[in-house]
């Protein structure tokens, strides 16, 4: 019974952070909720053997690997109507006075659309490295791959983001300059 209570407490405390990470991994809120639920079902099956000090690392590893597993399965399925991410927004210079706070929202939408067009492994690497602030070694361990794979996937993902959303380079460059 104590295992059940400990697991329930963990879920209550960590649901929101796990969901945020899953949204970044999947690019879709509904798919993210499914991913977190699948992850927690797997974790619950072995919870009595999980060390409380490393419980979050254990659950996050399940989350990352389930995300990649889902991608591998979908890769062999027929492609639906198309890919999201086409950006119809006008250029910044076509939007005078665009410093009214909507730029950040536009950038988030653009980034989300660009992330959705990366492979799940590339998204997982970027989430681990830049959102969860993991080292290359930690990311490799969590994804079950080599450090060189993490490095190359990061490089490829960032190159792809620069291609898909070049307007973000100027935005993130501005943020770095103000730090």
Q: pLDDT per residue over 75-121, tens digit each?
A: 544 554 454 444 444 444 444 444 555 667 777 778 788 888 888 88
CATH of domain 98-179: 1.10.10.10
DSSP 90: P
CA distance 32 to 159: 25
pLDDT given for residue 97 in this prediction: 45
Domain coordinates in residue numbering, the chain: 1-77, 98-179
Rounded distance between C-alpha atoms, residue 170 and residue 9, angstroms: 43
Handedness of CA 150, 155, 160, 166 (dihedral sign): positive
The CATH T-level fold of domain 1-77 is Rna Polymerase Sigma Factor; Chain: A (1.10.1740)
User: For the segment 116-170, what is each residue's pLDDT rounded down to a tens digit?
Assistant: 888 888 988 998 898 888 999 999 988 889 999 999 999 999 999 888 888 877 6
Residue 19 clears pLDDT 50, i.e. is over it = yes
What's the whole-model pTM score? 0.56
């Amino acid at each position: 019974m104590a295992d059940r209570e400990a697991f329930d407490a963990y879920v209550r405390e960590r649901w929101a952070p796990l969901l945020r990470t899953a949204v970044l991994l999947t690019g879709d809120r509904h798919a993210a909720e499914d991913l977190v639920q699948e992850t927690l079902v797997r974790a619950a099956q072995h919870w009595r053997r999980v060390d409380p000090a490393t419980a979050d690392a254990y659950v996050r590893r399940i989350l990352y690997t389930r995300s990649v597993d889902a991608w591998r399965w979908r890769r062999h399925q027929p492609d639906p109507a198309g890919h999201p991410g086409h950006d119809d927004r006008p250029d910044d210079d076509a939007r005078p006075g665009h410093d009214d706070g909507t730029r950040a929202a536009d950038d988030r939408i653009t980034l989300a659309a660009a992330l959705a067009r990366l492979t799940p492994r590339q998204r997982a690497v970027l989430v681990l490295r830049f959102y969860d602030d993991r080292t290359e070694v930690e990311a490799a361990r969590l994804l079950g791959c080599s450090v060189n794979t993490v490095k190359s996937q990061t490089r490829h993902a960032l190159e792809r983001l620069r291609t898909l959303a070049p307007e973000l380079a100027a935005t993130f460059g501005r943020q770095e300059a103000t730090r």
